[in-house]
Structure formats: C-alpha cells, structure tokens
C-alpha cells in the first residue's frame, strides 16, 4: 500500500455504496483523513479539490474509470496513489485497494491512531457546492461528527426505524446527518445509490421504510409523479430534511400522509442549525429563548445593494424586527467553532463578521436571509446572492417562485435575477416547466402576477423549458441560468418578455 502516515488525506470518488462507508470508517480507524469528492467533478475542478485538501491518494469507483481516463495523467503527475474497488480490469497505474489491504497484517489497529488529540481536530473534508466559484474543502472536526450522531434522535427517530437514504454521501446531509445519525440511534438504513421518484414508494413498501430523508427538490419530484398504488400502502411516518418549499410541503402531506415533516436548516461548514420540531408548515425552526441559549444566533439587517450588513453609527450591526428579513449569523466560540477551509485562512474571508454587537466579537456569516415572525418561527427567505434589487426594491426569488407555483399549469419554477444593459440592479426572470398535459396560459399568468406580486417583483422575462436543471444535490441551478440570461440568439428555449404597457 502507499506509505500514508497518520493525518494524511485519502480522497473518495465513489457513489452512495457500502464501499464508501467501510473505506471512510476504516481509514478513520487508521488515523487518516478522508475527503468526500463530488462525483461529477472532472478535469480542473477535480484537480483543484484534490490539491486544496492535500490528498495523497484517491479511491475511484469502477464506473468512473472511463470518464476519468483523460484525467489520469494529471492525477499521476500530482503524485497521487490511485486505487479502485471491485474492478477486475484497471488502467495501468491503478491498484486494487482490496488486494493491497488484504496483504497487510491482519491485526488490531493501535488505538492511538484513531484517538484524536483534540475534538476540534480535522478528521475529514466535505466540499462546498462551488456555485459561485471553485469548491472549497470545509474542515469537519471530530466534535461535529459527534454532534451529528444526535441528529435523528432530535428528529424523533429510534432504533426500530428503517431510514431511506438516497442522497449523495459526499454531501453532509447524506454522510454526517444520514449515516452518522443512523449510527447514533442504531437504526437500519436503506442505502440507494440514486434517487428514483418512480421507484420510491415501491422501495418503501419492499423495505418497510418508516423514515425518509430529503434535500432540495426531492419531495417535489414525488408529488409530480402520477398516482400509483404503492404510495398509499407505505409505513413512512417521518420525513426529515431541508429545502422543502411551503407549496410542496402542503401537497406532499395531503397526498402521502398522514406523516410528520420535520424541516431543518444547517450548513456544512456552519456553526448553527435549526429544527422545526413543532411541525409548523413552511418554517425551518423556532427561535425560543431556550434554543437560542443552547444554540445562539441572530438575524441582522442586510443591504442587498452593497452586499454587506447594515451598521449603526457605532459600527455595530443592527438586529432585525419580527417579520423583517435578516442575515443569519452565529457567534464563533469554543462550543460552536468555525474551522474554515483547507488551503489558507483567506478562503474564509467573508464568512466571518467582526464587531457585530460588541468590539472584538466574531460571528459566522451563513449567507442566508431568514425571517422570524412574532411567534418566533423561522422561515427561509433567500440566499444573499439570489435576492436581487430592481427599481430600488429588494426581490426575494423564493417569494416570486411561490406566487408562480400557485398556477396549476406550472410544475416547476426557478426564479433568478439577470443583468439588463443600461439599467441598475437585476431584473426578474423565471424558468418554467409545464405540468402535463397543460399548455402555457400567458393571459392567466399575467393576471396572476399582476394580482399577487408588486410591479418590481414581477418577472420581466420567462424561459419555457421541458424540465428544470438541478445540481447533484437536487438544488435549482440559479447561477448558471442567470449567466445565460435572456439573449434569444444564444438560447433555443421559447422566451417571453413582460409588456406592462400592453398588459401582456
């Protein structure tokens, strides 16, 4: 095997499979760090990720060997030891991990190798989505993994549950919350390599699933499926995850219930998380005094134009009022640390805010805008990079999307801001996918947005698509769509422009 000293990093480029788990746990047992590489990365972005985390070796899935063949010379030139698992045929220079591991001494691993000197030591890397640049390797500590062990217990799951997991394991939701959370309560996990909306309820019946974990648009995919017999005979009682839109939430429970939905909020590198333990529809949590005492956080005013928090005459940030969107920040402390990213402290610039409420204090900047109502319920408002300004007003993409999704002929909606030459700010644009067998009713759409949205929030441009693209973690691709803009000479999709003067 490659001479890897304790503390060295081994990168995993594997789908959701048992091999991913025993490699992760086995390498950790030997005192090695692992890096979970997003499976879609190739060429420059892949090499960047491997360099940023200081990987010494890379374990590849056999099904990726063909697509990675152009990358292999560059990976070898980086000095990486390349392994694969479960493949009888391999390109030259790639070793069989199982064969090399079997040749090692089959004895107990010394305990000191897996014993951390400090609970805040880095034990693995999980990469950010890279939507606004190259992915960054977020440092994950032993402490964070221990905290994730309590995830399903906090959600109300127990040892007798069967938990369905069809999320990428390179994502925190799949690995830390899903796998580690299941280990924490001793539950059974049904591991699916790829989510299938058409197969989902049959899987649930076959494996007697009681808990399902989602992210992003997964629940929307399920409610958009035609009815089938399997969806009514299931045993699912609890649905846990993040990114569930309010309109989908209502349709999901009405169609597939009775079941409980528990929406959560958190970030891979963040030091704050929320749980909607009351089940209030559309909320991601509740800011009770007890919860904020254990997991402190604040909502502060944010200027969309400057991209900075609003500060008073003393230079301190200003807390929001109930019902007012604010930037979610959390104090950095020994109990809730921020470890940053591999590659240097400069990568964390913008993620830390100083002198927020007191001279010298430091807060983690989530980059997310939330709203806290009079009852303390927290609702996700928008990403700071997604909210745009038009005609001197702030426009939240989530609010526009929710208004459009009320139309029965629209199946999916993606709202984003686009630059218009000669105009300040960004104008609203919406990509639409129709619900079969409906057609696009522009008259009804215009009347609906005129009635339900203020003039500045009405989309100026519409782009009709057969289906809307999402990332591998089931999030809508806003950044790419915004870059493509509304130029008919470069887009083949039908485009429509709002004509307020003509009423169409």
pLDDT, tens digit, for every residue of 379-399?
Answer: 999 988 888 888 878 888 988
User: For tokens 């899903």, what's the residue?
Assistant: 178
Distance from C-alpha of 341 to C-alpha of 134, rounded to nearest angstrom? 13
**Stated pTM of the model:** 0.87
Res 131: pLDDT? 58
* CATH value of 287-385 in 2.40.50.140, 1.10.10.1110, 3.40.50.920, 2.30.38.10: 2.30.38.10
Cα distances from 274 to residues 247, 267, 370, 384, in angstroms, run 21, 10, 12, 19
Tell me phi and psi for residue 64, to 5 degrees: -95, -5
* CATH value of 386-497 in 3.30.450.20, 3.30.300.30, 3.40.50.1100, 3.40.980.10: 3.30.300.30
Distance from C-alpha of 4 to C-alpha of 6, rounded to nearest angstrom? 7
Distance from C-alpha of 407 to C-alpha of 435, rounded to nearest angstrom? 10
Listed by start position, the domains of the chain span: 9-141, 149-269, 287-385, 386-497
Res 79: pLDDT? 93
Q: For 62-74, b where at least 16 C-beta lie within 10 A, e where not — what string?
A: bebbeebeebbee
Regarding beta strands 137-141 and 122-127, do their DSSP bridges make them parallel or antiparallel, or are they unpaired?
Answer: antiparallel
Tell me phi and psi for residue 419, to 5 degrees: -75, 135
Res 161: pLDDT? 98
Element (H, E) at 182: helix 181-185
Domain topology for 9-141: Rossmann fold (3.40.50)
Query: What are 47's two structure tokens?
Result: 């090499």
Domains 9-141 and 149-269 share a fold: yes
Q: Mean pLDDT in each 10-residue stretch from start to end of the chain (504 residues)?
A: 82 96 94 94 92 96 92 94 86 85 76 83 89 84 94 96 97 96 98 95 97 93 92 94 91 93 94 93 92 93 90 96 97 92 87 95 96 95 87 86 93 93 89 94 94 91 93 86 91 91 70
Query: What are 70's two structure tokens?
Result: 């152009």
Res 105: pLDDT? 65
Kindly indicate whether the domain formed by 149-269 is annotated with CATH number 3.40.50.1000.
no
Distance from C-alpha of 16 to C-alpha of 401, rounded to nearest angstrom? 31
Res 2: pLDDT? 54
Total length of the chain: 504
Cα distances from 320 to residues 86, 300, 326, 384, in angstroms, run 55, 5, 6, 15
Res 132: pLDDT? 59
As a dihedral over the C-alpha atoms of residue 142, residue 146, residue 149, residue 153, rounded to 10 degrees, the angle is -160
Regarding beta strands 211-215 and 238-242, do their DSSP bridges make them parallel or antiparallel, or are they unpaired?
Answer: parallel
User: For tokens 């950790």, what's the residue?
Assistant: 28
Distance from C-alpha of 415 to C-alpha of 464, rounded to nearest angstrom? 12
Coil, strand or helix: which one is 380?
A: strand
Residues 6 or more apart whose Cβ sits within 8 Å of residue 424: 389
Whether the Cβ atoms of residue 31 and residue 134 lie closer than 8 Å to each other = no
């Amino acid at each position: 095997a490659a001479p890897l000293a304790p503390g060295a990093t081994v990168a995993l480029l594997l789908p959701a499979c048992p091999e991913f788990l025993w490699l992760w746990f086995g390498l950790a047992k030997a005192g090695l760090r692992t890096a979970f590489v997003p499976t879609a990365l190739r060429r420059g972005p892949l090499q960047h990720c491997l360099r940023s985390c200081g990987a010494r070796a890379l374990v590849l899935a056999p099904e990726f060997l063909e697509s990675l063949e152009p990358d292999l010379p560059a990976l070898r030139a980086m000095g990486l030891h390349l392994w694969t698992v479960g493949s009888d045929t391999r390109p030259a220079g790639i070793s069989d991990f199982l064969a090399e591991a079997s040749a090692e001494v089959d004895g107990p691993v010394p305990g000191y190798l897996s014993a951390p000197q400090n609970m805040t030591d880095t034990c693995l890397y999980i990469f950010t989505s890279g939507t606004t640049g190259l992915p960054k390797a977020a440092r994950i500590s032993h402490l964070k993994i221990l905290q994730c062990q309590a995830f399903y217990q906090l959600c109300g799951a127990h040892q007798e549950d069967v938990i369905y997991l069809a999320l990428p394991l390179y994502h925190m939701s799949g690995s830390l919350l899903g796998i580690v959370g299941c280990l924490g309560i001793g539950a059974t996990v049904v591991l699916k390599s790829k989510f299938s909306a058409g197969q989902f309820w049959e899987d649930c019946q076959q494996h007697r699933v009681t808990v399902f974990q989602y992210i992003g648009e997964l629940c929307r995919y399920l409610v958009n499926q035609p009815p089938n017999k399997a969806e009514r005979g299931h045993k699912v009682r609890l649905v846990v995850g993040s990114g569930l839109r309010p309109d989908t939430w209502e349709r999901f429970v009405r169609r597939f219930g009775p079941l409980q939905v528990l929406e959560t909020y958190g970030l891979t590198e963040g030091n704050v998380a929320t749980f909607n333990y009351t089940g209030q529809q559309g909320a991601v949590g509740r800011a009770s005094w007890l919860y904020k005492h254990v997991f402190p956080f604040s909502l502060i005013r944010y200027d969309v134009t400057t991209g900075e928090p609003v500060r008073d005459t003393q230079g301190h940030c200003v807390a929001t009022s109930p019902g007012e969107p604010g930037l979610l920040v959390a104090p950095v402390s020994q109990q809730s640390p921020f470890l940053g990213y591999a590659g240097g402290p400069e990568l964390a610039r913008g993620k830390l805010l100083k002198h927020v409420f007191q001279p010298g204090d430091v807060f983690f900047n989530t980059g997310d805008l939330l709203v806290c109502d009079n009852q303390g319920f927290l609702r996700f408002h928008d990403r700071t990079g997604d909210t745009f300004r038009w005609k001197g007003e702030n426009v939240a993409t989530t609010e526009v999307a929710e208004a459009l999704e009320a139309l029965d002929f629209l199946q999916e909606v993606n709202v984003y801001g686009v630059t218009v030459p000669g105009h300040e700010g960004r104008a609203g644009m919406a990509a639409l996918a129709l619900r079969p067998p409906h057609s696009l009713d522009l008259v009804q759409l215009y009347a609906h947005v005129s009635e339900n949205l203020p003039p500045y929030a009405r989309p100026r441009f519409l782009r009709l698509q057969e289906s809307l693209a999402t990332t591998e973690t089931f999030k809508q691709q806003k950044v790419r769509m915004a870059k493509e803009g509304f130029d008919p000479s470069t887009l083949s999709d039908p485009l429509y422009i709002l004509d307020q003067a003509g009423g169409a």
